[in-house]
Each structure stands twice: as C-alpha cells, then as structure tokens.
Amino acid sequence: MEELIKVAEEKIVDSGDDISADRLKNAAATKKLAIFDALEILNRIQEEERMLEDSEKQTDTKVFKGFAEGRSK
C-alpha cells in the first residue's frame, strides 16, 4: 500500500517544458488506471483472505447426512 501511495504522489511526466496536452492526458490516464488496478488487486486479495478464514470456520461444523448417504460406504 505504501508503494501505491508513492506512485500516486509522483509527478505524472518528468520531461522538460515541451509537453503536449495529449501526452499529458495519456500519462494521467495511464497512472489513474494503474492505481485503480492496484486497488482492485488489493480488494481481491482481501476477499480471498476472508473466504479462506470463513472456510476454516465452517470446517468445524457438522454436516447433516441422510440415511442413504451415511450407509453408502
């Protein structure tokens, strides 16, 4: 997360005075997309961690088996 903040605080383009509007616009859009992608990845990681924690909690619960399922072995 700290690296993402560093990227967000950096200048968009580090070239001299002659920056075209299109180049600046493309660089800003690329930076914005990279930040949103990183945040989406972080959200997915957190969701996966929650799912793993929930699955660990659910393994302790007993599963109901019907008569045929219990006798099938």
pLDDT at 45: 93
Kindly state whether residue 40 falls inside one of the protein's structural domains. Answer: yes
Domain holding 32, by residue range, is 1-9+21-58
Kindly state whether residue 70 falls inside one of the protein's structural domains. Answer: no
Residue whose token pair is 């659910």:
58
Kindly state whether residue 65 falls inside one of the protein's structural domains. Answer: no
Name the more confident of 43 and 62: 43
d(CA 8, CA 17): 22
Amino acid at 61: T
pTM to 2 decimal places: 0.58
Kindly state whether residue 32 falls inside one of the protein's structural domains. Answer: yes
Name the more confident of 56 and 60: 56
Token duo for residue 24: 């600046």
Burial class (CB in 10 A: 0-12, 13-18, 19+), 41: exposed
Q: How many domains does the chain have?
A: 1
Kindly state whether residue 2 falls inside one of the protein's structural domains. Answer: yes
Kindly state whether residue 4 falls inside one of the protein's structural domains. Answer: yes
pLDDT at 21: 82
